[in-house]
Amino acid sequence: MSRTPVCRVALVTGANGAIGQAIAAGIVRTPGFEVVLVCRNEAKGTKALETIRHATGQDNIRLEMADLSRKASVQALAERWQGPLHVLVNNAAQCPRRRVETPEGIEVQWATNVLGYAWMVEVFTPVLESSAPARIVNVASYWAGGLDLGDPEFKRRPYDNDSAYRQSKQADRMLSSAYAKRLKRTGITVNACHPGDVNSKLSNDLGFGGHELPEQGAATPVWLATDSACDGVTGGYFEHRREAPCPFSADHDAVEALYELCREY
Ligand SMILES: NC(=O)c1ccc[n+]([C@@H]2O[C@H](COP(=O)([O-])OP(=O)(O)OC[C@H]3O[C@@H](n4cnc5c(N)ncnc54)[C@H](OP(=O)(O)O)[C@@H]3O)[C@@H](O)[C@H]2O)c1
């Protein structure tokens, strides 16, 4: 097991999942990085930690617990954070087949996949700024659309997990654009990406298997998190390591309305 000198610290949420684990492994393989896995289930997190250590031969990894669907848990994570943070990868998501609410009464896809991303950005901006240059990578999807700002929690519309998921991934792309604009002068870049189609709990809940390896799914997020080609690049949406047009982020009024809506929670 080797422990190369660390100069950059990355945090990856949902790091015991198919793509999250591959992202964490990909970052820790990059010389000079330490990776903090953020998981909600300690047994799964510990297993992921041991798997990544074994696969990479790297010891620069540790585990933190947080439930990203709950604001208090996200705030507690930031409050106990010590030291710098250079890369935040928002990746955790879920898409239960039936409508479920958090203990705070928020529909769980909206809470995890959208508010969780926004809360993480908000609470970690001070440490990212003091560690800058820093990067935020929001794992979104090409499978996106149907955002209803008047009914984000499917209180009026009938819930189906695919519609709730697609709107959440649209929102991730739009929030990336909103934060890129706001953080422009802080030295923090913000980009969104489609990872890849990977067989996972999430993809199975959506009804498809996924034909790509987790490492293929992780390639674009890892590149955005670590590659010098992305220095200073902000506000983009990427697929297969290439910037792609994002019609959702081009709707500036809707982006601002979404940003304001998220701040109400
Ligand atoms: N798979 C694909 O084909 C695909 C395609 C496009 C985009 N994506 C995106 O890629 C990302 C990763 O997806 P995946 O396919 O790797 O899914 P996955 O294997 O199901 O992993 C999801 C991860 O998120 C965690 N998570 C869910 N809710 C959480 C919460 N409230 N608090 C903390 N952690 C939570 C899960 O933890 P538990 O194990 O404890 O539930 C798990 O670690 C997602 O953002 C997804 O939208 C995936």
**Tens of pLDDT along 27-64?**
999 999 999 999 999 999 999 999 999 999 999 999 99
Domain ranges within the chain, ordered by starting residue: 8-263
CA–chain centroid gap for 196, Å, is 14
**From CA 6, how far away is CA 36, in angstroms rounded?**
12
The structure tokens listed for 131 are 């560690």
Model confidence at 258, pLDDT cuts 50, 70, 90, reads very high
SS (H, E, C) the chain: CECCCCCEEEEEECCCCHHHHHHHHHHHCCCCEEEEEEECCHHHHHHHHHHHHHHHCECCEEEEECCCCCHHHHHHHHHHCCCCCCEEEECCCCCCCCCCECCCCCEHHHHHHHHHHHHHHHHHHHHHHHHCCEEEEEECCCCCCCCCCCCCCCCCCCCCHHHHHHHHHHHHHHHHHHHHHHCHHHCEEEEEEECCCECCHHHHHCCCCCCECHHHHHHHHHHHHHCHHHCCCCCCEEECCEECCCHHHHCHHHHHHHHHHHHCC
Ligand 1 proximity of 68 Cβ (cutoff 6 Å): yes
The closest alpha carbon to 154, from 93, 100, 205, 118, belongs to 100
Ligand 1 proximity of 258 Cβ (cutoff 6 Å): no
* Token pair 């955002």: residue: 147
**Tens of pLDDT along 144-179?**
999 999 999 999 999 999 999 999 999 999 999 999
**What share of the chain has pLDDT > 70, as a percent?**
98
**Tens of pLDDT along 66-100?**
999 999 999 999 999 999 999 999 999 999 999 99
The closest alpha carbon to 178, from 252, 244, 115, 92, belongs to 252
Ligand 1 proximity of 34 Cβ (cutoff 6 Å): no
Mutate to test the pocket of ligand 1, among 94, 100, 193, 206 (most ligand atoms within 8 A of CB): 94
For the chain, give the longest Cα–Cα distance: 54
Describe the crossing of helices 71-80 and 116-131 by its angle, rounded to 10 degrees.
20
Give pLDDT, residue 212: 97
Report which protein residue has its CA nearest ligand 1's atom 23: 14
pLDDT at 4 over 90: no
**From CA 45, how far away is CA 25, in angstroms rounded?**
13
Ligand 1 proximity of 60 Cβ (cutoff 6 Å): no
Q: Which residues are catalytic?
A: 165
Mutate to test the pocket of ligand 1, among 200, 220, 240 (most ligand atoms within 8 A of CB): 200
- Span from the CA of 148 to the centroid of ligand 1 (angstroms): 22
Give pLDDT, residue 82: 96
**Tens of pLDDT along 185-217?**
999 999 999 999 999 999 999 999 889 999 999
pLDDT at 1 over 70: no
- Span from the CA of 143 to the centroid of ligand 1 (angstroms): 14
**From CA 56, how far away is CA 23, in angstroms rounded?**
12
Quote the pTM value: 0.98
Report which protein residue has its CA nearest ligand 1's atom 6: 141
Ligand 1 proximity of 21 Cβ (cutoff 6 Å): no
Q: Would you identify the CATH topology of the domain 8-263?
A: Rossmann fold (3.40.50)
Ligand 1 proximity of 178 Cβ (cutoff 6 Å): no
Half-sphere exposure of 247 (CA within 13 A, CB side): 6
